[in-house]
Amino acid sequence: MPSFRSEPPGPRPSRSHPAGRPNPFERSPAAGRDGYASFQASLLFCPKCRQATPARERLLLVLPTGNLYEYLCVECGTSTGSKTDREQRDVRLFIP
């Protein structure tokens, strides 16, 4: 009985497009992180309204480790979540 191989013998072909172009579905891990640097929630579930409602972002604290934001329900003002933005550049404190 003949054996069938899924790949031809020899060196493996590169995983690029047959026309010599790079495969558009393969990206480096760094490219994925750069595309999603920051999210801003538009709808969050509100426990008081018992439905997903638009959310307003409010800055709570400015910390050396990042900014802390709170999400509030637009309808009733209930806190529906929070996030910490860890992207801080050169933080300088001014003490008079």
Query: 77 is in which domain, residue-wise?
Result: 41-85
Residue 81 bridge partners (DSSP): 71
Q: Is residue 70 part of a domain?
A: yes
Residue 88 to residue 66: CA distance in whole angstroms: 6
- pLDDT per residue as tens digits for the range 50-82: 999 999 999 999 888 889 999 999 999 999 999
Give the count of domains, the chain. 1
Q: How confident is the model at residue 96 (pLDDT cuts 50, 70, 90)?
A: confident
pTM given for the model: 0.55
Q: Is residue 81 part of a domain?
A: yes
Amino acid of residue 46:
C
